[in-house]
Amino acid sequence: MSQASEPRDLRLTQLEKIYANGFTAVHPLDLTIPQGSFFALLGPSGCGKTTTLRMVAGLEVPTAGSITIGGTEITYEKPYRRPVNTVFQSYALFPHLSIADNVAFGLKRRGIKDTAKTVADMLELVELTAQASKRPQQLSGGQQQRVALARALINQPEVLLLDEPLGALDLKLRRAMQLELKRIQTEVGLTFVHVTHDQEEAMTMADTIAVMNAGRIEQLGSPADLYDNPATTFVANFLGQSNLIAGNVVGEDTLAGAPVVTVDMEGTIVSIPKERAHVTSGKGWVGIRPEKVLVAPAGEPIDAPGNHFTGGTIIDTSFIGVSTQYVLRTAWGQEISAFEQNTGARGVLAPGTAVDFTWRPEFAFLLDASQDATAGVDLGEE
Amino acid sequence: MRTRRWLPYALFAPAALWLLLFFVVPFYSLLANSLFDPTGDNLTGYDVTFHFGNFTHVLSKYGPHIWRSFWWATISTALCLVLGYVLAYTIAFKAGRWKNIVLVLVVAPFFTSFLIRTAAWKLILADHGWLVQTLQSLHVISSDGRLLATPVAAIAGLTYNFLPFAILPLYTSIEKLDRGLLEAAGDLYASPAKTFLRVTLPLTMPGIVGATLLTFIPSVGDYINAQLLGGTTDRVVGQDIESLFTTTGDYASAGALSVILLVVILVMTMFYVRKAGTEELL
């Protein structure tokens, strides 16, 4: 394969950042971000995601390791010589320049004289043509965000870095901009690296998500992979919610032709698909997402084969509209949550109702019991 | 609540009175002076005869001094801006926790009188002082060269005395500068030099304008530095006004010179502020 046709992947190799005060922001990290992908670095504040991004942008000098784009090393390259542009969290628009001049800034610095046409096209892409001659402070937050995006995109960087670009917008605008960003990324086909602490945002937009925690990547995969098969309690709790129930691995078996791990969970033997079992012996956390837990009044049949539990009691009922969220106490005294779509098939169960519950074995996962069952809880929304 | 209409006027009154007593009245009297009949004296009194000849008279007699005042003020202002900008930038970006201490040091000279500090420069620049001898031995100046009583000394004195007035407004505007904008410029292919030229400099323009006005205006009218540090042959207009008022008693010429100085400064200031694009400051 010739050099030119080789994919221009962004590759981080053993990249590490230790600050002068001794704090390790990023532990040696290996990551390959394929050319043209929409990649999200997801994690709570202080997890090292922004530091990683800033090292790629050249705004932070790595302590060790290397950064390459398509084989070209840029680890210690000056920021203004990298084929990389950033959309900053604060937008960092130049207040003394018009919107058009802000957008043209990068092109002009690279000595491109005639920028009018390119700038006009870019402003059209982000639907700001009418604002071209205004100053940034005359624009709304959403418009400023799009200027920041246009100002970076116009340079056609090999990698576009987005540092919590939607953080300052209100919820509705944020949802609209998420779809907009995704549309633009598909249209221009550049590699986007998006840093966010909002798991919903990461799942909506990214092809691949790396979940970071305490300077390390906890897990890497597609949004569906991470959600369905979290590898750690942190990922299980940070991406959505999980019920984690203590159990002991009993052995291995096959269920409907697929290999499973069997676990003694509070006296009931449950089975978990082998590929979702992250421990195969000793103690473990049996994980199940709340929407996968099916609830019915005690004694009534539940439409799911599998792990069946009796002796539960509803202790809290929240009617959300499209769904109802229950908290129920199990026979062994643990509180777990169950989300139910309001299909109308049955009325809402009042607190105090005795219930049975179940879940399909293929939806459960098994995590290492040495991990903190509450890791990543309440970190998603800041 | 009932609006107290008189309150704004009451609050405005002391300032208005102050300006009336100490600006409008003296300014009127200065203007009147400049139009005195030059033949008057302290015994017979002076008449305002709208003698515009006073202006042409002082322009022809003191023209070179006026020119020198503006020229020296321009040089010292330029030096103040360069030195002040570098220092203010360093304080704002590099001083870290020493920031406040360094700022106190900047204004520390004010604890000593302006006159005494200028007089102290006579010692530093003296013919047998360490500075002159060092420069002589390094052949920067000739073996009989001197610093005291030269334009260099006077301009150095002006620069020294007005430097804090440049540093403070420059510091204020550099300190406010959003560091994120400098990162953004770097991210958008601007080298450090280009970032300074395209982002830092335009955004700190208000500080530059403030520093210029605060150093240039007092420098033009200053006569202490020329008197104590400059040579006897290089007179500035401030010295002329001083001696015309206090020694010669030629109030007409002194008034005319003062008015000329004032008008030229005013016109230059307005032109400069407009050129710098910071009208909103006035």
Domain ranges of chain B: 64-281
Contacts of A263 (CB under 8 A, 6+ apart): A247, A248, A249, A250, A269, A270, A271, A272, A284, A286, A366
Chain B residues whose CB is inside 8 A of the A103 CB are none
Which of helix, strand or coil describes residue A39?
strand
Q: Are A162 and A268 part of one and the same domain?
A: no
Residues A279 and A303 both lie in one domain: yes
Pick from B188, B198, B200 the residue to mutate for testing the A interface (most A CBs within 10 Å).
B188
Does the residue A287 lie in any domain? yes
Cβ atoms of B251 and B35 closer than 8 Å: no
- From the list A207, A191, A205, A1, the residue with the least C-alpha distance to A83 is A191
Residue A378 lies in a domain: no
How many CB atoms sit inside 10 A of residue B24's CB?
Answer: 11
Domain-ending residue, one of A207, A228, A249: A228
Distance between CA atoms of B212 and B78, rounded to whole angstroms?
A: 8
Residue B34 has pLDDT above 80, yes or no: yes
> Does residue A121 form part of some domain?
yes
Most B CBs within 10 A among A81, A102, A105, hence the mutation to make, goes to: A105
Instruction: Tell me: do A257 and A171 sit in the same domain.
Output: no
The predicted structure's pLDDT at residue A11 = 96
Q: Are residues A84 and A128 in the same domain?
A: yes
Query: What is the pLDDT at residue B96?
Result: 86
Q: Which domain holds residue A24?
A: 10-228
Locate the chain B residue with the closest alpha carbon to A95: B203
DSSP-H helix ranges across chain B: 6-19, 25-34, 53-94, 99-107, 114-125, 130-137, 151-176, 179-187, 192-195, 201-203, 205-221, 224-228, 237-243, 251-275
Please provide the DSSP assignment of A118-129 as one string.
Answer: HHHHHHHHTT-G
Which residues in chain B are closer than 8 Å to A93, comparing Cβ atoms?
184
Residue B125: Cβ-neighbour burial (10 angstroms; 0-12, 13-18, 19+): buried
Across B7-25, average pLDDT: 93
**Residue B248 pLDDT more than 60?**
yes
**Which of A51, A56, A78, A80 is the best substitution to test chain B (most B C-beta atoms within 10 A)?**
A80
Query: Token digits for B61?
Result: 């007699």
**Distance of alpha carbon B55 from alpha carbon A151, whole angstroms:** 58
- Of A164, A196, A228, which residue is a domain's last? A228
pLDDT over 90 (residue B3): no
pLDDT at A381: 47
Determine the residue of chain A that is closest to B277 in CA distance. A96
B190 CB neighbours in chain A (<8 A) are: 80, 105, 109
**Using the beta-carbon criterion (under 8 Å), do A84 and B187 form an inter-chain contact?**
yes
Contact (CB<8Å) A94/B187: no
User: Taking 50 as the threshold, does the pLDDT of residue B282 lie above it?
Assistant: no
CA distance A222 to chain B (A): 29
Q: Residue A201 is part of a domain; what is its CATH number?
A: 3.40.50.300
Rg (CA), chain A: 25
For chain A, the domain total comes to: 2
Measured between alpha carbons, how far is residue A116 from residues A119, A132, A154 in Å?
A: 5, 11, 12
- CB neighbours (10 Å) of residue A365? 23
Residue A20 touches chain B, beta carbons under 8 Å:
no
Task: Identify whether the C-beta of residue A57 lies closer than 8 Å to the C-beta of residue A84.
Answer: yes
A233 inside domain: no
| Residue A295 to residue A267: CA distance in whole angstroms | 19
Q: Is A209 helix (H, G, I), strand (E, B) or coil?
A: strand
- CATH code, domain carrying A274: 2.40.50.140
**Residue B279, pLDDT score:** 47
Claim to verify: residue A47 and residue A144 sit in the same structural domain: yes
Same-domain check for residues A202 and A288: no
Domain ends where: A196, A228, A260? A228
Compute the nearest-CA separation of B98 from chain A (Å).
Answer: 19
Is there a single domain that holds both residue A92 and residue A210? yes
Is residue B249 within 8 A of residue B43, CB to CB? The reply is no
Q: Is residue A381 part of a domain?
A: no
Predicted confidence at residue B103, as pLDDT, reads 93
Q: Average pLDDT across each block of 10 residues of chain A; the chain has 382 residues. List them in order.
A: 67 96 95 95 94 96 96 94 94 96 96 94 92 95 93 94 88 86 88 94 94 95 96 94 95 88 91 92 95 92 80 94 94 94 88 93 93 81 44
Among chain B residues, the shortest Cα distance to A93 is held by B181
Same domain, A177 and A245: no
Beta-carbon separation of A80 and B180 below 8 A? no
Report if residue A172 sits inside a domain. yes
Cβ-based neighbour number of residue A218 at 10 Å:
22
State whether A69 and A158 are in the same domain.
yes
Query: What class has domain B64-281?
Result: mainly alpha
Q: What is the pLDDT of residues B169-213, one digit of tens each?
A: 999 999 999 999 999 999 999 999 999 999 999 999 999 999 999
Q: How far, in Å, CA of A327 to CA of A376, rounded?
A: 20
Check residue A2 and give its pLDDT. Answer: 41
A165 and A255 part of one domain: no
